[in-house]
Structures are given as structure tokens and as C-alpha cells.
Amino acid sequence: MIDFPSVQVVPLEVGHWPQVRDIYATGIATGHATFETEPPSWAAFDVSKLPAHRLVALDSSGTVLGWAAASAVSDRCVYAGVVEHSVYVHKDHRRKGLGLTLMKGLVASATQQQYHVMVGGIDITNTGSIALHEQLGFVHAGTIRQAAFKFGRWLDLGFYQLLLETPAHPVDG
């Protein structure tokens, strides 16, 4: 599936940030990877993403090929078991299994931390991301029509969710 001989998935660290930011910026520029208009600073990213749920895929030279991270959906206690995730792969390495590998790692870390549900908001024209999520068992949970205006057009946001095999009550992660 992955056509790289020595891809390693490791925790995302501050030293990876410049390459992560570049991959994020390219995703923003495509128009359908995210509804953001520019990448955040490291400080904003660091505050918004759960430390135990940040991964990068590195090649044998240490180059970041992709990243995935999860955030709490809310600070309200009733949502303690739910995380929202992001996954981005460098444009030159898409459709080679890296997104699947990163997402499997993220699902495993969320399950280990006893989260109950993973959700992702995906532009409904992003068929590659939708296919990736469906391959992992995510199901379409609903769509918000014309949720965002970007690059001169209204975009629809599809929500996909995966119920994780976890106990009934979450533990802080």
C-alpha cells in the first residue's frame, strides 16, 4: 500500500512544524482540504491540537510527508468523548497510503485514550478524503449546505464519524 520503503509515523514535534505548516498551506490553497484561509502559528496549532494525538509520517531522510492531529470538539463535559481530526498529505505523496496510515495511527491513539467518537468535517467535493474515511469505517452523519464561502464559491461541509470501540465513559486524554 505505501510505496515508500521506510516511512515512519512518529509524534509531531515543534521541529516538524515548518514542514507541517507548508503541507497545511498547500491544503488550504487547493480550496477543499480545509475552510481555513491561512495556516495558524505554531502557538495556535499547539494550543488547539491534543498533544497525545499529533502524528507525522517521515521518510528515511526525516522529511515530513503528511500529518494528522485531533482536537477536542468542545470544552463542555458532555462532549469529553468526542474528538475532531485533521489529516493532510504532501501533494506529491497523495494516494499512496500515507493518509490511511496516519489515520490508523490517530484512531489507535484515540481508542487507547478511551475516546468514543471521532468526527471529521470534509468539503463534499473532496472525494479522496471521503473515500479514505469510508475505508476506515467512517459514515456520513450529515451535511451543512453552503457552510463556508471560499475562493468565490459556497462550500458544503459533510460530517463523517467513526464510533470507536471504547468503554461507555471516556477518560481525559
| Backbone torsions φ then ψ of 54, nearest 5 degrees | -135, 120
**pTM exceeds 0.85 for this model:** yes
- Give the CA distances from residue 147 to residues 52, 126, 141, 160, in Å, rounded to whole numbers and listed in that order: 30, 15, 15, 15
Ranges of each domain in the chain = 8-163
> Which helix or strand (DSSP H or E) is residue 89 part of?
strand 82-89
- Locate cell 468514543: which residue? 116
| Tens-binned pLDDT, residue by residue, of the chain (173 aa) | 444 568 999 999 999 999 999 999 998 887 677 778 889 999 999 999 999 999 999 999 999 999 999 999 999 988 889 999 999 999 999 888 999 999 999 999 999 998 999 999 999 999 999 999 999 999 999 999 999 888 888 989 999 999 997 655 555 54
Residue 103's Cβ-count burial label (10 Å; 0-12, 13-18, 19+) is buried
CATH H-level superfamily of 8-163: Gcn5-related N-acetyltransferase (GNAT) (3.40.630.30)
